[in-house]
Structure formats: C-alpha cells, structure tokens
Amino acid sequence: MIPLTYCYPWTKGTRDEQKQWMREFAESGVKHLVLTSNLFGEGCRDTGYLLTFYQDMQEFGLDFVDSHALWGPWSDPGMPIPEWKETLLLRHRMTFQFCRQFGVKTMAFHTGNTFNSIFGTNLTLEDYYKALISSLEILLPEAEKCGIIIALENQWTPLNHSTILLKVMEYFNSPYLGLCYDSGHGNLMEKGSQFPGETVVPVIWDDLGTSVIWEENLLEKFAPWLVNCHMHDNRGIKDEHLHPGKGTIDWDRIRRVLKTASRLQSIQNESSLHESPIQEYCRIFQDMFKNL
C-alpha cells in the first residue's frame, strides 16, 4: 500500500501547539508527515529545532516519508547566476543530510522561476535549462549518497513544462531522479485555457516573454517516472488547494493512472484545511486514496 503523507504549516505554531496538532493527526490514523520546506528552513537556521520537532513526532508514533525542497528564485536548481550557485547547492546538501538522518526517501523540487526581471533580461529558456542540468549534475550524486530520489514537480512555469521535464528524465535516466505530479497545478495547466480572462496564469510566462503552453494528459506522461505526488483540488481557474472532490479534477482518472506508476513512493495531502478540523482534513484524503 502506498503511504499517505500530510503537509501542514507546522512552523506557524508554538511547540505546544505543534504537539497538539500531532496528537490530532495521530488520533486520525495518520502515520506519516511531510518534511516541509519551512521545516527545512528552520532546520538550516537551527538544527536543534528540527531534532526537537522530530522527537516530538516520535512521541505520537509519527515519522517522515517524503519532503519538499527549499524553494524560491534563489533556491531552485534552475537559478542561472553562477556566482550564487554554490550557496544554493550547499543549502540543498544540508537538507539531504536531514533526510538521511530521518529516513526520508523522496524530495520534491521546483525546477525554477524564469524571472528575467530578477536574473537579467538577456536570459533565454535554454539558459535556465542549462542551469537546471548543471545543478542536477552536482545534486544527484549527493542525493544518491543519502538514499534520496529527487522529484521534479510540475509547478507551471516554462522551465517545468512536460516537454522540459521529460527531456531531463531522459537526459539523466537515473533511479535517483523522478517526477512529482501536483494535481492542482496539473488541473490549471490542462483546464485553464477553458476560462480565458479568468484563469490565474503565473506572471512568469510574461516575464520571460513566452506564450503559455497548455498541457494535455500530463499525469499519463508522468506515470513512468512518478515517485511522489501532491494532491489537492481546484476549479481550473486558481490554485485553491481545495480538499480532493471539492473542485473539478477527475479523481477516478487520477487513481487509475496512479495504479500504473510502478515507482510511486508516496501520495501527499497538500490541500489546505480551509477551516475544517484536522480529523476532517485527514478523513477526506483517506477516503479518496484508501484503495491505493
């Protein structure tokens, strides 16, 4: 059975609040949490914070299975400025070590934001692609040493269109590199064209001066390389992070394709609570994926 994992805004709470939330997750039948980018950020600032958090988790029988890399223009591996590359790589190497200590097997990465307004107006998509490749050439051996599979996520930027991500998969052809399917992003990338003038298209496309390229059958394309996935719903207009079943995603299709993904390691709940209690947040997700 594929492990179900749960993302939560842990760093917004005090330690007492965190422990109460952990108790509620455990009482809801949850076993696995996501080692989030915010937790990594706190851990990079103070290792003791993350060690204490992990000890508190163990008190409630919880563990980490999957993780999300540090992200943002200056953290994503497609960052194209050479003089800041080593700083970026060092931070990811540190998070790999945390994963090794906690037994985490996959880490989802955003490929990067093609922000010419930040990095320089003369850069092309090919420049960002070369930066991504050069980062992965360094990070992949480090991930392998720590037993981690890097999973590139469909974040909906020019640098992670399926044509780019599948090209990267074929270039490396590594068991330590795979894909992360984000259902909410996927729904926007496939259905957003149906709502002209309404769909919230990331400004990154305009920033690079590139027309939006919509997707078709994205999950089916991802399936052979899929190692983890982020599940949440929306209506195809904006990234609402609704509970599965509350938007327009075809969940029968999602479940059907996931059953064909032989490398799949985990299924992550990345929906927001939207004022629902933790028990409800967990129950909806468990019901949706109980047969996988």
The CATH classification number of 4-289 equals 3.20.20.150
Name residue, tokens 């390229």. Answer: 213
User: Sorting pLDDT into bands at 50, 70 and 90, what band is 250?
Assistant: very high
User: How do the domains of the chain map onto residue ranges?
Assistant: 4-289
Burial category of 96 from C-beta neighbours within 10 Å (exposed 0-12, middle 13-18, buried 19 and up): buried
Is 90 exceeded by the pLDDT of residue 208?
no
Query: What is the pLDDT, as a whole number, of residue 234?
Result: 96
pLDDT in tens, 150-181: 999 998 889 999 999 999 999 999 999 999 99
φ and ψ at residue 219, rounded to 5 degrees: -65, -40
pLDDT of 121 higher than 80: no
Q: What is the mean pLDDT of residues 263-267?
A: 98
The mean pLDDT of 64-86, rounded to a whole number, is 97
To which residue do tokens 């068991």 refer? 175
Q: How confident is the model at residue 274 (pLDDT cuts 50, 70, 90)?
A: confident
pLDDT, position 207 = 87
Average pLDDT of every residue of the chain: 95
Rounded Cα gap, residues 183 and 219, in angstroms? 8
pLDDT at 94 over 90: yes
Average pLDDT over residues 102-121: 93
The pLDDT, as a whole number, for residue 236 is: 93
The pLDDT assigned to 203 comes to 86
